[in-house]
Structure 1
Amino acid sequence: MAGTIAAVSALGMTAVLGGCGVTGGSPDVTLKLVAADYGDSKANSSQKYWDKLVEEYEAENPGVRIDVSVYSWNDVDRKVREMVAAGDPPDMAQIGSYAGYAAQNQLYKADDLLSIPVQADFVGQLASAGQVKGVQYGMPFASSTRVLFYNKALFSEAGITPPKTWDDLAADAEALKAEGVTTPYALPLGPEEAPAETMQWMLSGGGGYTDTVGSYGIDAPENVDTFSWLKTELVGKDLTGPVAPGELDRADAFAAFAEGEVGMVNGHPSLMNIAAKKGVKYGMVPTPGKEGTSKSTLGVADWMTAFRKNGHRDQVGDFLDFVYSEKNVLAFSREYDLLPVTTSASGTMAASDQDRHLRPFLEELLTSELYPVGKTSWADVSAEIKQRIGKAVAPGGNPSAVLGQLQAEASRAENAE
């Protein structure tokens, strides 16, 4: 995305700006909110979204002031950690993870804060992903899914149709290579996007990061089969690029697609704008699976949390009820081409011609699976995946051995929770 490069949220959104929110008179209560920036320039900084929302809320609630600080994804999680470590947490933080704070009993439960209609309005998968041991602490704030993007011009030149299965995808990649396409399929298993691309492929092969009881199952036979196929049928046949998968980051894969050099790549909504700005005509289809369209796809979310230390539970809850109104959820989602986290806003978006470009992603949300973010071990496991998973498909790599090593690390981390 445009702008100076910045960290990537769970949604893959970049952010570049920081700042402080609105100020006002002498309220009875001041609530501090730390939020992440989803914009890629000053013109669409999230600060503008929050300033407008807070102005409206404070006009209706003169006894409450909301002090908003917006930080880039480079800084927001670290900033909140530093505030917590200093004994001065914000009242609310809109960040990338919540489980560690929940495990330390620092967060309000969602049902301590939100009205019943608001809490019940969260999309089911997202609400479940916000739980630790069956209790919701993380309130989804923004969400996204993945679909397969393909370059229509390159497909037309090769005389091929979008894939529905792995075999279709491999055949299409071979045809694109024969036409001289630089990168038939971009496989970003580099540190930036590795956990997402890995999970997307695992799901398409009938596996995933966890088993049916919620424990890590990284080296499950289905996952080993998936990465063995990738290594043999795509990487081993020189159908990926432009660099080795373990060295390819998502941003570079997206940029190459936007330059017309990539035939296919898994992508989230922001790729639509990136490609359109470069004039690339693209199509989108559900993720191909082993024997047909994948039964599940990757869903991702960022989280709103509320810290208990400063109290003000009633005021925090009332403000968050306002934040999660259909109007405000839709406004945020439309500003940044993200998916609504509430059922009501999702229904409105699905029926609106204004949002038709997001329908393929909305349709995937109902069958999506999210990272195991309710595990305090997930941050460490995700870091290990970023460092190691590319080796599974590298020349001389052993998918079974690499996934087995990751499973061993995950089991140790899980047992330490």
Structure 2
Amino acid sequence: MTKLKTLGLASVLLGGTALPAFAQETEMSFIMCGDLRPADEQAVADFEAAHEGVTVNVEAVPWGTCQDKTLTLAAAGDPPSVAYMGSRTLRQMVNNDLIVPAAIPDDLREAYQPGVLSTVMIEGEVYGWPHAFSTKALFVNCDLVEEAGAECVAPETWDEMLALAQTVVDNTDAAGVGLAGKDFDNTMHQFLNYLYSNGGTVIDTQTGENMLDSEETRETLQFVHDLVAVAQEGPTAWERDQLRDLFNDGQIAMYVQGPWGRGQHNEDINQLVAPVPHGPHGESGSILITDAIVVLKGSGHEELAQELAAALATGESQYDLDQSWGLTPIFKYEDLGWDAPYYQDDEYWQVFMAGMEAGGPEPLVEDFRSLQSVFTNMVQGTILDDDTVDNLVTIAGEELDDAM
């Protein structure tokens, strides 16, 4: 494997400006949400070795309190130099002037997989170094499909998916599809997988315009409504990881999951993995989700912090994350000098990469809980037949305006 020279980015990041001399001791801080990997430790050690007099104090904080701690410190005027955050927090941090744009060089931007930078983009500006990327695909239990008397061929369109699900319902004791409708973020994610596969948009990443109230959204919500008849009982009580359990128990024939599904499904299931079926106005897509390494404003060494962010979110540290965690590759690693990256010539990974071009980001708003409610209310409304599809989408568009 050829190694990407991460620290060589420094001269590009600083635009040719001479690196400052650190004759005196300089302390930087890095807040890590979750556990620190050996690859992260190595990246920090290499960074310190390349910058005499610089020490990076690393604090690993559980996800439940990590992001709040970073926001609190930044708002109090004592920000960490860099922090690992969920990208969904970026809008809040930008609106409160707590972070600076990510100084990602143009040539490196071109090496990201399609759509990745949209996950950290607000009105055309990139505010984080993308980290931990995932996409989604459709898992099919071929044993159930064949028990129903059908050939196990992946549905390419919504109509084909509905027809296959109906065949399973009519000829087995299982449900045709797993449908998430619980008050949880992956209810929104599930809807966005289908929306992006129908050419829909939530928020324009270049202009910040609310695009949710559209014909594409209405078609997608109608599709979710149609799925209820072939789904497990009581979808509003289920979230995605519970659907995995139903899939393992042979109680649903299909559901949408991330690439980690392969390692979470029973080995005796004859499963097929395929792109998310597409609607009448789109191609098979996926929600694109990342975390991000952000550079905080006010540390006094933001340029140096950009280098540390680059060390953590590129090169061997990033490759190790993608490969060891079983994530969709965040870079076109072959373009960065890697020989035979882990996803190359692997049909499984090609499926999860296929949805990137037509995919879209988790929308970035200041209040994520309000965003989640916009979609949960809309999806639960159609599952329970509380209102018409048209009215539910109109209301959701108005609620999104408030959430933004």
What residue is the counterpart of 1:23 in the other structure?
none
Partners of 2:26 and 2:53 within 8 A in 1:
yes
Check 1:291–1:191 CA distance in 2 against 1; reply closer, same or farther (3 A cut): same
Partners of 1:228 and 1:393 within 8 A in 2:
no
Partners of 2:192 and 2:287 within 8 A in 1:
yes
Please state if 1:252 is matched with 2:249. no
What residue is the counterpart of 1:330 in the other structure?
319
Post-superposition shift, 1:322?
2.1
Deviates more, 1:259-268 or 1:60-69: 60-69
What residue is the counterpart of 2:126 in the other structure?
136
Partners of 2:157 and 2:277 within 8 A in 1:
yes
Post-superposition shift, 1:267?
1.0
Partners of 2:334 and 2:340 within 8 A in 1:
no
Partners of 2:382 and 2:388 within 8 A in 1:
yes
Check 1:395–1:104 CA distance in 2 against 1; reply closer, same or farther (3 A cut): closer
What residue is the counterpart of 1:274 in the other structure?
264
Check 1:120–1:268 CA distance in 2 against 1; reply closer, same or farther (3 A cut): same
What residue is the counterpart of 2:13 in the other structure?
none
**Count of matched residue pairs:** 374
Q: Which whole-Å CA distance do the structure 2 matches of 1:126 and 1:344 have between them?
A: 14
Alignment equivalent of 1:309, drawn from 289, 298, 305: 298
What are the residue-to-residue correspondences of 1:19-98 with 2, within 5 Å?
A: 28-37=25-34, 45-96=35-86, 97-98=89-90
Check 1:164–1:110 CA distance in 2 against 1; reply closer, same or farther (3 A cut): same
Check 1:54–1:187 CA distance in 2 against 1; reply closer, same or farther (3 A cut): same
Deviates more, 1:145-154 or 1:77-86: 77-86
Tell me the TM-score normalised to structure 2 length.
Answer: 0.82
Partners of 1:204 and 1:290 within 8 A in 2:
yes
Q: Which whole-Å CA distance do the structure 2 matches of 1:29 and 1:127 have between them?
A: 31
Post-superposition shift, 1:345?
6.0
Please state if 1:187 is matched with 2:176. no
What residue is the counterpart of 1:164 in the other structure?
156
1:232-282 deviations in whole A, cap 9, x for unaligned? x321x2x112x4222211111122223332210111111111115x54332
Check 1:361–1:72 CA distance in 2 against 1; reply closer, same or farther (3 A cut): farther
- For 1:174, the aligned partner's letter is Q
| Consecutive unaligned residues in structure 1, runs of 5 or more | 1-25, 38-44
Partners of 1:330 and 1:349 within 8 A in 2:
no
Check 1:407–1:305 CA distance in 2 against 1; reply closer, same or farther (3 A cut): same
Check 1:90–1:195 CA distance in 2 against 1; reply closer, same or farther (3 A cut): same
- For 1:226, the aligned partner's letter is T
Check 1:362–1:229 CA distance in 2 against 1; reply closer, same or farther (3 A cut): closer
Post-superposition shift, 1:27?
8.3
* Greater relative CO, 1 or 2 (CA 8 Å, sep 6+): 2
What residue is the counterpart of 2:5 in the other structure?
none
- For 2:287, the aligned partner's letter is L
What residue is the counterpart of 1:264 in the other structure?
254
Q: Which whole-Å CA distance do the structure 2 matches of 1:315 and 1:353 have between them?
A: 31
Q: Which whole-Å CA distance do the structure 1 matches of 2:310 and 2:199 have between them?
A: 38
Post-superposition shift, 1:136?
1.7
Post-superposition shift, 1:387?
4.5
Post-superposition shift, 1:377?
5.6
What residue is the counterpart of 2:7 in the other structure?
none
SS of the aligned residue for 1:386 comes to: helix
What residue is the counterpart of 2:170 in the other structure?
178
- For 2:312, the aligned partner's letter is V
1:284-336 deviations in whole A, cap 9, x for unaligned? 11111234983433211112111011121232122223224332221110111
1:133-174 deviations in whole A, cap 9, x for unaligned? 322212211211111111122122222322111121111111
What residue is the counterpart of 1:218 in the other structure?
212
1:57-108 deviations in whole A, cap 9, x for unaligned? 3344442222222233333222222323443221111111211111222212
SS of the aligned residue for 1:98 comes to: helix
Check 1:27–1:342 CA distance in 2 against 1; reply closer, same or farther (3 A cut): farther
Partners of 2:294 and 2:309 within 8 A in 1:
no
Tell me the TM-score normalised to structure 1 length.
Answer: 0.80
1:182-236 deviations in whole A, cap 9, x for unaligned? 33201112222121111112223332324696522333122223222332x321x
Alignment equivalent of 1:320, drawn from 276, 297, 309: 309
Q: Which whole-Å CA distance do the structure 1 matches of 2:113 and 2:303 have between them?
A: 24
Q: Which whole-Å CA distance do the structure 2 matches of 1:413 and 1:213 have between them?
A: 16
- For 2:401, the aligned partner's letter is S
Partners of 2:334 and 2:341 within 8 A in 1:
no
Check 1:345–1:370 CA distance in 2 against 1; reply closer, same or farther (3 A cut): farther
Please state if 1:361 is matched with 2:358. no
SS of the aligned residue for 1:110 comes to: coil
Partners of 1:188 and 1:246 within 8 A in 2:
yes
